[in-house]
């Protein structure tokens, strides 16, 4: 039995590896899958399983294997770049609540209360870890993960394999999304920013009137308890608004 190796490579192996390149690169920073506590082997197995699932659907969109090695390297690099771009946008969306949590911790007097953030494998503010963990959990509870997988699949419509990527548009979109995400994070933390300004302004005025009293030691517990009180009433609103922003940005950029 004669096996045409070239035909097998061009007909089966090459399309599979090209699909795996884009999906694997995107899943490396996928919410819930691309976190630091998920081992690289587990991410790779998940990417392989997703590739086996979507390979029959995406095969007609895959171009023929290039004859020149340079063209092959360029094609694989572009597929990896599309996946990295998708994953980076997803990571920016999660960073919204991490930014809001850091600002909240600073304004309620908990900026030095650091705990291990399992998503980053690094120390983060208490409120930042809580909000980011709750946000990732809500993505799966509200079935927004289905939207993410659909968006990842629709990247083949937005960025067809084998076509030249609009690098300028990619950079501009990434910068605009980063700016928008930071702005939204500040807006979500705005009640605590106002509360912090009022507390520090009150502390400054009272310190001028009573310089002999250590007001910082007196008002710090009030600031912390007041911050937790406001946080208990606003956390549901913060996460609800974040889910809406998450849905809108993903649908606008990738869903077709």
**How far is residue 4 from each of residues 12, 59, 215, measured CA to CA in Å?**
12, 20, 83
Give the model's pLDDT for residue 16: 87
pLDDT at 186: 93
Q: What is the pLDDT of residue 11?
A: 64
Contact 112, 55 (CB under 8 A): no
pLDDT, tens digit only, all 256 positions of the chain? 455 555 555 567 888 888 899 998 888 888 878 777 778 888 888 889 988 888 888 888 888 888 888 888 898 899 999 999 998 998 899 889 989 998 998 888 887 777 777 766 677 888 888 898 899 889 888 888 888 888 888 888 888 888 888 888 899 999 999 999 999 999 999 999 988 888 888 888 887 877 777 777 777 888 888 888 888 889 999 999 999 999 898 888 887 6
What DSSP state is assigned to residue 59?
G
Q: What is the DSSP letter of 34?
A: S
Domain count, the chain: 1
Rounded-to-integer distance, Cα 22 and Cα 152, Å = 9
- What is the domain range of residue 181? 5-253
* Dihedral pair phi/psi, residue 168, rounded to 5°: -60, -45
Q: Which two tokens stand for residue 111?
A: 């900026």
Give the model's pLDDT for residue 253: 83
Separation of alpha carbons 254 and 203, rounded Å: 48
CA dist 237 and 232 (Å) reads: 10
pLDDT value at position 204?
82
Structure tokens at 163: 């076509």
């Amino acid at each position: 039995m004669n096996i045409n190796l070239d035909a097998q490579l061009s007909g089966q192996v090459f399309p599979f590896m090209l699909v795996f390149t884009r999906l694997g690169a995107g899943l490396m920073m996928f919410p819930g899958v691309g976190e630091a506590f998920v081992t690289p082997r587990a991410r790779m197995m998940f990417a392989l399983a997703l590739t086996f699932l979507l390979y029959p659907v995406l095969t007609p969109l895959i171009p023929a294997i290039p004859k020149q090695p340079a063209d092959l390297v360029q094609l694989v690099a572009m597929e990896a770049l599309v996946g990295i771009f998708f994953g980076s946008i997803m990571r920016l969306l999660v960073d919204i609540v991490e930014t809001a949590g850091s600002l909240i911790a600073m304004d309620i007097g908990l900026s030095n209360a650091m705990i291990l953030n399992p998503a980053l494998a690094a120390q983060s503010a208490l409120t930042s870890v809580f909000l980011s963990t709750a946000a990732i959990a809500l993505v799966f509870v509200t079935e927004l993960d289905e939207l993410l997988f659909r968006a990842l699949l629709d990247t083949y419509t937005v960025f067809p394999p084998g076509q030249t990527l609009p690098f300028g548009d990619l950079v501009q979109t990434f910068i605009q999304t980063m700016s928008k995400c930071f702005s939204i994070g500040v807006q979500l933390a705005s009640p605590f920013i106002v509360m912090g300004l009022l507390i520090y302004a009150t502390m400054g005025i009272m310190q001028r009137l009573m310089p002999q009293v250590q007001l910082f030691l007196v008002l710090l517990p009030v600031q912390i308890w007041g911050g937790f009180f406001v946080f208990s009433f606003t956390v549901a609103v913060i996460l609800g608004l974040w889910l809406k922003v998450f849905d809108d940005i993903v649908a606008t950029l990738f869903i077709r």
